[in-house]
Amino acid sequence: MSFSGFDPDLIQFLKDLEKNNDKKWFEKNKKRFEESVQIPMLQFIEAMEPRLRNITSHLVAIPKKTGGSLSRIYRDVRFSKDKTPFHNYVMAKFIHEVGKNHPSAGFFIKIEPDQVCFGSGACGLDNPAISKIRSHIDSFPKEWVKARDNKKFKKLYGELGGGRLKRPPRGYEEDHPLIEDLKRKDFMAGCPMKTDVLLKKNLPAEAEKIMAAASPLVGFVNESLGLPF
């Protein structure tokens, strides 16, 4: 498979799905989903594999319909009040080679009806993983600040996002010089862009630059978790 830019119908499909989020409509438009969304996303993932290798050999790009880097369009509604069956976005995640059952940092691209977001870092971590990252920040403050304030990263991503505690975590004082970072529950940032970026044939090259700018952050988090980067 070769990637030559996304078709404009990808965004239009997501807009239509947002208005018609039901199984009957999706079944009627399943071929359109496959041609405008699924296949181009798999082509993009495949194109990213060698570019990820330029950044690290420990993150993977797997162009498979299921069990790979492409997220499922189907929502898990078992424990949700929202019973709409489909996500109104499509996402590709480039995670660490250890697999999804081990906490780690990586990269992703999330395509929504009104924007595209390149994300880097880690979120939704369990408490033991968060504690390891906090301990690593506390032990290596200079390295953390260097990764967090990297010029290329700041230019593209701005500030770190995600949730944080209201009070200092146990074991850390309020006057700790990095207390605001130690309060973090997520260690990630997003680089939002307009959807017309999807039409660029050189999107994989642009994605590589965006991801490479966040490699110090991703590397620091993975090192905190005992993973190579």
- pLDDT tens column, 171-201: 999 999 999 999 999 999 999 999 999 999 8
Query: Is residue 73 in some structural domain?
Result: yes
Query: Is residue 164 in some structural domain?
Result: yes
Query: Is residue 229 in some structural domain?
Result: no
pTM over 0.85: yes
Each residue's pLDDT tens digit, 86-137: 999 999 999 999 998 999 999 999 999 999 999 999 999 999 999 999 999 9
pLDDT for residue 80: 86
Query: Is residue 4 in some structural domain?
Result: no
The count of C-alpha atoms lying within 13 angstroms of the C-alpha of 6, restricted to the half-sphere facing its C-beta, is 25
Tally the residues of the chain: 229
Instruction: Print the domain residue range for 79.
Output: 9-224
Query: Is residue 170 in some structural domain?
Result: yes
pLDDT for residue 1: 63
Angle at 66 between CA 106 and CA 25, to 5 degrees: 115
- Closest of 117, 99, 110 to residue 225, by C-alpha: 99
pLDDT for residue 79: 86
State how many domains the chain has: 1
Question: 27: which residues sit within 8 A by CB, 6+ positions away?
Answer: none
Burial of 85 from C-beta contacts in 10 A (0-12 / 13-18 / 19+): middle
Helix 127-139 to helix 141-148 angle (10° resolution) is 100
**Residue 162 belongs to domain with CATH number:** 3.30.930
pLDDT for residue 108: 98
d(CA 169, CA 171): 6
pLDDT averaged over every residue in the chain: 96
Query: Is residue 2 in some structural domain?
Result: no
pLDDT for residue 105: 98
Query: Is residue 1 in some structural domain?
Result: no
Residue tagged 């290798």 (tokens): 53
pLDDT bucket at 2, cuts 50 / 70 / 90: confident
What six digits make up the tokens of 200?
A: 């660029």
